[in-house]
Amino acid sequence: MRIGLVVDNPYRDLPGMVLLARELALQGAQCYLIPYNLRDVEVWPIAPDFLLLNFLRKINEDWTAKLIQANIRFGVLDTEGSVFSPVPAWAMEDLAAADHIIDKSKAEIIDYLVTAARKPEVRRASSCYLAWSQNVKEFLVSSQLYTADQITVTGSPRTDMLTPEFRPAARTISSYADDHAKPIVLINASFPTANPAFLTAEQEIDLMVKAFKYNRKFCEDSVRTQTIALRGVTKMANELAHHFPHVTFILRPHPFESTNVYKFLLDDLPNLKLIKQGTVDGWLLRSSALIQIGSSTAVEASVLGVPVFTPGWLPLHVAVPVSTLASVSADSIEQMKGHLESVMAGSYQVTEEKRCEIDQAIAQAYGAMDGLAHKRAAAEILRHCNNSNPGRTIRRCRRRFFSSVITGSKWRKRIHTAVNLITNRGIHWSWTKWKNDYKKKLPWDQSDKRFDAQQVQSILNALESVLPQNEKQVKAQQASHADYHFAYREGRSVIVEARSK
């Protein structure tokens, strides 16, 4: 049984997906960890029996419809599954035409509804939706996006890494963080629209307008506000690093942010580091405090008991309610310094009212934090794999694969690709690329989205150290030519499967 798990961004999603893949492998499945941005050429030659999508939104619903045509069963485990923000109704360009939004009379709507898949037949085709919490299920059902029968509250395997059972594994996975002296204050930036890693800000605006039908002025305002806040965060980081020379400040950009602008704005100080490496749990486990603005990492830090502060003097274009609940706002840089001084002195305490708000944020976002989300998710996936629905159609997968690699605006490229396919040389083959050992220089291999079998195996090894011993051994290997259909040679997926010891 082949099960595909789409991995959006390794800086955020990889350990959780490996944990889920391990559980599925122990149940007899062969799991493929599939890079999201290579899914169009990876999924079809894998031809999985079941594919777990990282989201189902407007931006990928037409592609998802092709899964339906190929009889590939799929489900959804949303990577942003519990972070909802209200936006003004005018932020959507054509609210009247949005049939998927039930109540159009409200002054504000939830941003998830703006980006949700519009076609009900695509949403209905999802075998399952794995919700992070009961709060998320109630929202999706009341919004009539999915039926109650489709949704199972499993929690997110990603948040399992925050529970006491898995914290030692999270520390092992993030051993690189031990190179930095304590005490550590983590500053999480979250400005992916104004400072994107993979597009320009203008391209981000165009994408939001064209794909999601956001109002252009709303998007431009968002970029301006995020730019002001980004500069404010770097200025704050500089001042705090000067004021607390014995504290190490780690500024960690959002996984979808570029690091270039920070290199110019941050002072060159020995105790101020710009680091974009690993998932946030490893950094939080070593931090005395977290400073963030509009980031869901406020909830993750709260689970670990790390004090969370937000610079209330900086603008926030769109509110993030769970982040607000989990954070203590500082009205000025001097008040922020006071909070950190209390933390360093060991005297910081939150009020009872704030403690209740933090508990509320955790329940809304993550539900039960029992370390079993990966088991519940695996059981639900296997339940749908083992039912009597028809399996995927190889012929249709082949057709989709050929269509995806041959289509394009340049006829020379289409002919070149077709010839490579016919002659079984790989879709990207050329004399120049062959001379330069092209497979080792594929641009994706140099990108932030890259992950490989070695990384996956190191995560598996860390998990093995904290989980009960099993008679089977779970191994990761890079998918090879033999693991794909249709003579596909240049795959980047990683296979996770169990073998007898």
Would you state the pLDDT for residue 287? 96
**Residue 130: which H helix or E strand, with range?**
strand 128-131
What's the pTM? Answer: 0.89
Query: What string of DSSP letters covers 473-491?
Result: EEEEEE--GGGSSTT----
Q: Check if the beta carbon of residue 148 is closer than 8 Å to that of residue 382.
A: no
CA distance 436 to 96: 54
Q: Rounded to 5 degrees, what are φ and ψ at 10?
A: -60, -30
Q: Which of 412, 491, 498 is nearest to 452 (CA)?
A: 491
Token look-up 């959002």 returns 254
CA distance 38 to 492: 8
Q: Check if the beta carbon of residue 45 is closer than 8 Å to that of residue 397.
A: yes
Report residue 229 as tokens. 């806040």
CA distance 307 to 350: 8
Distance set, CA 218 to CA 48, 85, 198, 205 (Å): 40, 14, 21, 9
* Amino acid present at 282: G
Report residue 436 as tokens. 């330069």
Would you state the pLDDT for residue 181? 93
Would you state the pLDDT for residue 47? 92
Would you state the pLDDT for residue 440? 47
- The domains found in the chain, sorted by start residue, are 2-159+371-393+449-500 (3.40.50), 176-359 (3.40.50.2000)
Q: Rounded to 5 degrees, what are φ and ψ at 130?
A: -95, 105
One pLDDT digit (tens) per residue for the chain, 501 residues: 899 999 998 888 999 999 999 999 999 999 999 999 888 889 999 999 999 999 999 889 999 999 999 999 999 999 887 888 988 888 887 776 677 777 777 888 888 888 889 899 999 999 999 999 999 999 999 999 999 999 999 999 999 999 999 999 999 999 999 999 999 999 999 898 888 888 888 888 888 888 888 889 989 999 999 999 999 999 999 999 999 999 999 999 988 889 899 999 999 999 999 999 888 999 999 999 999 998 889 999 999 999 999 999 999 888 899 999 999 999 999 999 999 999 999 999 999 999 999 999 999 999 889 999 999 999 999 999 887 666 778 888 888 887 776 655 555 555 656 666 666 555 555 545 444 444 445 677 777 788 999 999 999 999 999 998 888 899 999 998 888 888 787 789 999 999 887
CA distance 125 to 129: 11
* Amino acid present at 197: A
Q: Half-sphere exposure of residue 116, counting CA atoms within 13 Å on the CB side?
A: 26
The 3-state DSSP class for residue 437 equals coil
CA distance 142 to 226: 32
Angle formed by the axes of helices 39-46 and 61-69, to 10°?
10
Neighbours of 20 (CB within 10 A): 29
Residues making up the chain, counted from first to last = 501
Sign of the alpha-carbon dihedral angle for 15, 20, 26, 30: negative
494-500 vs 30-35, strand pairing mode: antiparallel
Peptide bond before residue 183 is cis, with ω within 30 degrees of 0: yes
CA distance 375 to 444: 31
Q: Is 16 exposed, middle or buried, given 0-12, 13-18 or 19+ CB atoms closer than 10 A?
A: buried
Within 8 A by CB and 6+ apart from 277, the residues are 11, 176
Distance set, CA 109 to CA 85, 102, 139, 273, 369 (Å): 8, 10, 12, 38, 28
Report residue 453 as tokens. 């079998």
Dump strand ranges (E) for 244-303: 248-252, 272-274, 289-292
Would you state the pLDDT for residue 386? 82
